Structure 1
Amino acid sequence: MTARPALRHVVFFSAKDKADTIRIVEGLEILADIPHARVFEVRQNRQQDALSSEVDVVVYAEFDSEEDLAAYKAHPLYEASIKAVRPLRELRMAADF
């Protein structure tokens, strides 16, 4: 059995214009080059839940510590991703657990 991560970071995004969903994914994928996450994924939501269609893109990451998450958010690529994605997104909801 693998050890559980100290911290999971999940962020949900919705696109202002659904045609920009792929551009949002691409803007978020640059975060994969930040070295502080143990696991990092960006996926387009498959929209298969009949009760919820607000979320277009999901980011999932695992960190070994709060310090690793802070270092991830302080990395210059994090700001570059924000600049690329913010104009295209409507909703952004994050959860850390």
Structure 2
Amino acid sequence: MIKHIVLFKLKDSSPESVQLTTDVLRGLKGKVEQLRELEVGIDVVKSPRSYDIALVATFDSLEDLEGYQVHPEHKKVIEHMSQVRESQVAVDFEF
């Protein structure tokens, strides 16, 4: 199994912008067959080192993660994220 974790810092961290982007990310659920689980959360601490949104996705294999990366629905999300994100960091690990 593979865990894919991405943290996003948005250009506009207003509640409306964060909620819109959270909804876009959650919209992947049920649309990408490789995606086993999807969690999307909004930061509640709001410290200077915090990111605004966390995405945690689970895949059966590295191949499924790679399929997700090129899936048309994921590419739509990438388009949105490239417009609204200031920065992002990611980690992928086996468990």
User: TM-score when scaled to structure 1?
Assistant: 0.83
Give the counterpart letter for 1:83 in structure 2: E
Structure 1 residue corresponding to 2:58, chosen from 62, 84, 92: 62
Stretches of structure 2 that go unaligned for 5 or more consecutive residues are none
Write the mapping of 1:29-68 to structure 2, written as runs, cut at 5 A: 29-32=26-29, 33-47=31-45, 52-53=49-50, 55-68=51-64
Q: Deviations over 1:54-97 (max 9, x none)?
A: x0000001111011101111110011001122211111111001
Root-mean-square deviation (CA, aligned residues, Å) is 1.6
Write the mapping of 1:1-97 to structure 2, written as runs, cut at 5 A: 6-19=1-14, 20-32=17-29, 33-47=31-45, 52-53=49-50, 55-97=51-93
Structure with the greater alpha carbon radius of gyration: 1
Identity %: 31
Contact 1:12 1:56 in 2 (8 A): yes
User: TM-score when scaled to structure 2?
Assistant: 0.84
- Deviating beyond 3 angstroms after TM superposition, the runs of 4 or more aligned structure 1 residues are none
Stretches of structure 1 that go unaligned for 5 or more consecutive residues are 1-5
Give the counterpart letter for 1:37 in structure 2: L
Q: How many residues align structurally?
A: 90
- The Cα of 1:51 is off from its aligned counterpart by 6.9
Q: How many angstroms apart in 2 are the aligned matches of 1:44 and 1:25?
A: 8
Equivalent position SS for 2:45? coil
More helix by share: 1
Q: What is aligned with 1:3?
A: none
